[in-house]
């Protein structure tokens, strides 16, 4: 079956249409639809339990969908109506596990060569391809070692080399960096992006780390409770979040949402007017989005201001990210230089400009 009848572009390498995965009464994946063109780097990001790993397992053929369809390069590979139409081995997809899953009794070279043997590559072609991918991953000198004799970062490179060896057109990665230390994670992020460019494979990458999502992706799907909250290029999601969940999940630091009451053409918070309400707006109770850089620390003449209890300050690139409690709500602002105070001290926060978004009580964006 060709999925182009459902509106997919011929260049789409991956199409997910109304996908559902049910475990008893629980829907882990709930009516997800999205598509990405060939060569994309799609990141599935969201909190634990949001359905991203279940979705990846269905893409890999390790789980059958309860409803909907998955298509690779124009061909349906899984269907809620028809079950698994193509098993994992026939999907031309490679999967990198979180746990690396290397065979401990095989050398690095043998680990990388094994899937090529299964695919019935000739001995000569296997040898050439193993050397090629080991060189690509900068681990050629490790070919005669066993997994227990190399570091975690090196094991991860071996796992990636094994996966890309058969030249998959779809590359699936399930939180592959979560077992690495912070410095090595940053290095391996760059390495994965380099490998993605070199192989040209369409990649689907699962993570709960929004920094990874924003730095690596061409497309991001933010998942929450089994559904896609928002899908699009990373900059688009950062600049214009469509829900309060996306606004507070993405970005470092996360955006602030101030609960406000509309009175006529004004928004009020903490007993004072803080912003102008758009003409024709019907909602009276809203949440206003202010990014950390939109909130200054200290009184600024002519700008709305309120008081909070200082909790912490973190230095970032010559500025301080300052967090205070306003009632039970955490509010974060920025100040130049280094900021010090005693936790519990009163500090003044000033709103530097109009809000960057308006959301209704259902958490949906309502400003144009």
- pLDDT tens, residue by residue, 127-184: 999 999 999 988 999 999 999 999 988 998 999 999 999 999 999 999 888 877 888 8
pLDDT at 84: 67
Structural tokens at position 358? 């308006």
pLDDT at 2: 39
Terminal C-alpha separation, the chain: 40
Q: ∠94-100-105 over CA atoms, to 5°?
A: 105
Please, are residues 42 and 94 in contact by the beta-carbon 8 Å criterion?
A: no
pLDDT at 251: 86
Residue 204 region by backbone torsions, left for phi larger than 0, else alpha for psi between -120 and 50, else beta: beta
pLDDT at 263: 93
pLDDT at 47 over 60: yes
Tell me what the mean pLDDT of segment 68-91 comes to.
83
Query: Each residue of 24-36: pLDDT tens digit?
Result: 999 999 999 999 9
Please, are residues 206 and 227 in contact by the beta-carbon 8 Å criterion?
A: no
Determine what percent of the chain is predicted with pLDDT higher than 90: 73
pLDDT at 10 over 60: no
Q: Which of 23-37, 190-204, 283-297, 337-351 has the lowest mean pLDDT?
A: 190-204
pLDDT at 305 over 90: yes
Query: Each residue of 312-326: pLDDT tens digit?
Result: 999 998 999 999 999
pLDDT, mean over the chain? 91
- Specify the pTM: 0.87
pLDDT at 332 over 80: yes
The full set of domains in the chain, from first to last, is 3-247 (3.40.50.300), 253-359 (2.40.50.140)
């Amino acid at each position: 079956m060709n999925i182009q009848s459902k509106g997919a572009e011929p260049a789409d390498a991956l199409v997910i249409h109304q996908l559902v995965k049910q475990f008893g009464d629980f829907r882990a994946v709930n009516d997800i639809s999205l598509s990405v063109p060939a060569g994309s780097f799609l990141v599935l990001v969201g909190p634990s339990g949001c359905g991203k790993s279940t979705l990846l397992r269905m893409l890999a053929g390790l789980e059958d969908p309860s409803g909907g369809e998955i298509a690779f390069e124009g061909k349906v590979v899984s269907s809620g109506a028809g079950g698994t139409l193509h098993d994992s081995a026939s999907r031309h997809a490679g999967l990198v596990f979180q746990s690396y899953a290397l065979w401990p009794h095989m050398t690095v070279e043998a680990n990388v060569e094994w899937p090529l043997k299964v695919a019935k590559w000739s001995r000569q072609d296997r040898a050439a391809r193993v050397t090629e991918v080991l060189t690509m991953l900068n681990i050629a000198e490790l070919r005669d070692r066993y997994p227990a004799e190399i570091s975690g970062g090196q094991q991860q490179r071996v796992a990636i080399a094994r996966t890309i060896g058969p030249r998959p057109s779809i590359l699936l990665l399930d939180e592959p960096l979560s077992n690495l230390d912070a410095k090595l994670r940053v290095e391996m992020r760059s390495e994965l992006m380099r490998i993605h460019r070199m192989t040209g494979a369409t990649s689907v990458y699962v993570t709960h780390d929004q920094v990874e999502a924003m730095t690596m992706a061409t497309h991001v799907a933010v998942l929450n409770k089994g559904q896609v909250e928002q899908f699009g290029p990373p900059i688009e999601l950062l600049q214009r979040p469509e829900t309060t969940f996306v606004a507070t999940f993405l970005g470092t630091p996360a955006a602030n949402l101030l609960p406000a009451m509309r009175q006529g053409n004004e928004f009020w918070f903490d007993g004072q007017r803080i912003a102008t309400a758009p003409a024709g707006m019907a909602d009276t109770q809203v949440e206003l989005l202010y990014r950390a850089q939109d909130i200054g620390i200290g009184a600024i003449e002519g700008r709305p201001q309120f008081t909070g209890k200082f909790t912490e300050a973190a230095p970032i690139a010559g500025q301080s990210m300052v967090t205070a409690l306003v009632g039970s709500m955490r509010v974060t602002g920025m100040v130049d230089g280094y900021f010090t105070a005693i936790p519990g001290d009163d500090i003044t926060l000033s709103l530097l400009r109009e809000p960057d978004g308006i959301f209704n009580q259902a958490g949906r964006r309502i400003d144009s």
